[in-house]
Structure 1
Amino acid sequence: MTDRVYKLIEIVGTSPHGTDEAIRNAIEKASKTVKNLDWFQVIETRGQIADGKIAHFQVVLKVGFRVED
């Protein structure tokens, strides 16, 4: 088994449709500029309220990626 080193970054995904979509949006966008994404952890969920209804979801994620040799 190879020893691996990981780095963590924190990102925020958003969506007007739900937390799952907010997570997917964040991972998809991050994967375009960060290589070797391996896992994520939801840190915080919050949202915006407008007229007494949920208007937008925000999800804070820690994302781990492998550091290359």
Structure 2
Amino acid sequence: MTDTTEKPNIEIDPRLLEVLVCPVTRRPLTYDRVAQELISPTTGLAFPIRSGVPIMLVDQARKFEPQKG
């Protein structure tokens, strides 16, 4: 039996990652290859990547505890 919740590791074009910024802060994002998310550490939002397409909508982002500092 296979785990159907596992996300495929689809590579994102590095040039795209260079230009994408957080829609809230306009600061750079961190790419989490395993979770297939773009992370905004200052806002505590993780934007999903679905089928290789970053979903940069705040209402679609997952919330997490932002890093201090």
TM-score with structure 2 setting the length: 0.24
Higher helix share: 1
Rg comparison, structure with higher value: 1
Higher strand share: 1
Highest RCO, 1 vs 2 (Cα 8 Å, sep ≥ 6): 1
